[in-house]
């Protein structure tokens, strides 16, 4: 089964907890805090695996979580950092935060990696908190939670050449005779319901990848027919080969087919009109094909060259393959430049912003004040509430962030309930 669009959840590993420990060994002077730091959590990394062709693996497993780091130990021994979780994806995978949202990664080359969810850092042990005023602190941090995110994976087939055209014009037949691919071929529309990929080698030993894409019909860019699901795959092809049924056996006019398909490509993505395109007149072994080709050429612009072939009898295939190989040699730089432009338009630069340091104060139905905010919740999760020193430090940090002042502005008074995640406490002015 071909799967090219999935939604999954991933989570980086939590950091290990820091430890509260003291060194008390016989004959060892100057004992003191000796709690080690926790190890870092594992990152979730996507890596391109050239042998994969589909996102099928993600159909049955939708949640991926990296391991957490080991906890700190006594004698200032740090916990071991967790191994990264490496997830294999096929070439051409685009990682987004949501449908048509910001692009996190565009993975196209074998071995290319991208960190999608970062693991949390390890919590600090009590030896990190020593001061002249408090040389023996009973204070440590829990590990930082790993980043948790829902993402959308979209596969755009990486092929040098994409075959486009109406259903039953002979795209699958053409692919089957010029490569070792064995697409399904039958005498009805939409026989091809998934992209097929094949490697083609010319007689002068030049090779390229060719994709047979499901047939397009009028309105495909608006979601009509099957083709709209696979228009995204045409974006990654360097050369478009437009296959037209010149026999007219389906009752359609070849020139109208040509105009309709190009309109659909233009409406889906205007850049596709700039992509090099070859026009192939197929089924030239059928009656009336020569007359139809002559009429077709009259309506075309003079600079558009048409390659008459018969995929079934293999007539004219060598000339077509040589033309495709020649065109690929001069369009490589053009497409790389275009992909760089697309990347600069869509890729998000992740950097520190002051908004992540903020917090919000709202009022619940039961009258309790509710605190929310990334930094505040992260601070809460890294606090060990089983130790009095940690609780006092948490209260100082909240005061330093301006939480007390914000609660007063909202009307909080002595004894009011304040809620942060699952934790409730009383406001003391």
Annotated binding site: 165-172, 190-194, 212-215, 282-285, 310-312
| Residues forming beta bridges with residue 297, ordered by sequence position | none
The answer to whether the beta carbons of residues 175 and 409 sit under 8 Å apart is: no
Say how many Å lie between the first and final Cα of the chain, rounded: 63
d(CA 401, CA 414): 20
Q: How many residues in total does the chain contain?
A: 429
- 111 phi-psi bin (left φ>0, alpha ψ -120 to 50, beta other): left
d(CA 6, CA 22): 50
- How many other CB atoms sit within 10 Å of the CB of residue 421? 12
Q: Are β-strands 44-48 and 423-426 bridged in parallel, bridged antiparallel, or unpaired?
A: unpaired
Give the residue among 106, 120, 150, 124 at the shortest CA–CA distance from 10: 150
Structure tokens at 327: 């065109």
Give the residue among 313, 245, 246, 275 at the shortest CA–CA distance from 161: 275
Q: Binding site for Mg(2+): residue ranges? A: 172, 192
Angle between helices 388-401 and 374-381 (to 10 degrees): 170
Q: Binding site for GTP: residue ranges? A: 165-172, 190-194, 212-215, 282-285, 310-312
Sequential DSSP letters for 53-80: ---GGGGT--EEEPPPPPPPBTTTBPPP
In angstroms, what CA-CA distances link 71 with 80, 83, 120, 389, 394?
Answer: 8, 14, 13, 19, 21
3-class secondary structure, 222: helix
Instruction: Quote the longest CA-to-CA distance of the chain.
Output: 105
In angstroms, what CA-CA distances link 184 with 208, 283, 394, 397?
Answer: 21, 18, 65, 65
d(CA 228, CA 225): 7
């Amino acid at each position: 089964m071909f799967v090219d669009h999935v939604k999954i959840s991933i989570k980086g590993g939590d950091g290990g907890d820091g430890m509260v420990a003291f060194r008390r060994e016989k004959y060892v002077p100057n004992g003191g805090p000796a709690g080690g730091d926790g190890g870092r959590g594992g990152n979730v990394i996507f890596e391109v695996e050239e042998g994969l062709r589909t996102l099928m693996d993600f159909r049955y497993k939708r949640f991926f979580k990296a391991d957490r780091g080991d906890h700190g130990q006594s004698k200032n021994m740090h916990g071991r950092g967790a191994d990264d979780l490496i997830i294999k994806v096929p070439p051409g995978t685009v990682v987004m935060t949501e449908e048509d949202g910001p692009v996190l990664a565009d993975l196209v080359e074998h071995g290319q990696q991208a960190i999608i969810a970062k693991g949390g850092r390890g919590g600090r042990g009590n030896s990190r908190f020593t001061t002249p005023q408090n040389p023996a602190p009973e204070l440590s941090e829990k590990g930082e939670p790993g980043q948790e995110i829902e993402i959308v994976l979209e596969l755009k087939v990486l092929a040098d050449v994409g075959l486009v055209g109406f259903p039953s014009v002979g795209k699958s037949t053409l692919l089957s005779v010029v490569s070792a691919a064995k697409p399904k071929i039958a005498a009805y529309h939409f026989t091809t319901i998934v992209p097929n990929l094949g490697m083609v080698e010319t007689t002068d030993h030049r090779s390229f990848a060719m994709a047979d894409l499901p047939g397009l019909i009028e309105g495909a860019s608006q979601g009509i027919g099957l083709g709209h699901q696979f228009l995204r795959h045409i974006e990654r092809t360097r050369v478009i080969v437009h296959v037209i049924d010149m026999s007219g056996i389906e009752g359609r006019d070849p020139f109208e087919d040509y105009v309709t398909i190009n309109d659909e490509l233009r409406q889906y993505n205007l850049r596709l009109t700039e992509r090099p395109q070859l026009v192939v007149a197929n089924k030239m072994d059928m009656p009336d094909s020569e007359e139809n080709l002559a009429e077709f050429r009259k309506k075309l612009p003079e600079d558009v060259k048409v390659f008459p072939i018969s995929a079934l009898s293999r007539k004219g295939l060598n000339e077509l393959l040589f033309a495709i190989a020649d065109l690929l040699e001069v369009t490589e730089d053009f497409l790389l430049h275009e992909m760089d432009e697309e990347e600069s338009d869509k890729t998000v630069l992740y950097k520190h912003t002051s908004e992540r340091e903020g917090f919000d104060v709202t009022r619940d139905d039961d009258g309790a004040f509710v605190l929310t905010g990334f930094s505040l919740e992260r601070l809460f999760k890294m606090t060990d509430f089983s130790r009095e020193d940690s609780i006092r430090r948490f209260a100082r940090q909240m005061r330093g962030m301006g939480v007390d002042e914000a609660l007063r502005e909202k009307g909080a008074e002595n004894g009011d309930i304040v809620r942060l995640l699952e934790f409730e406490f009383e406001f003391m002015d």
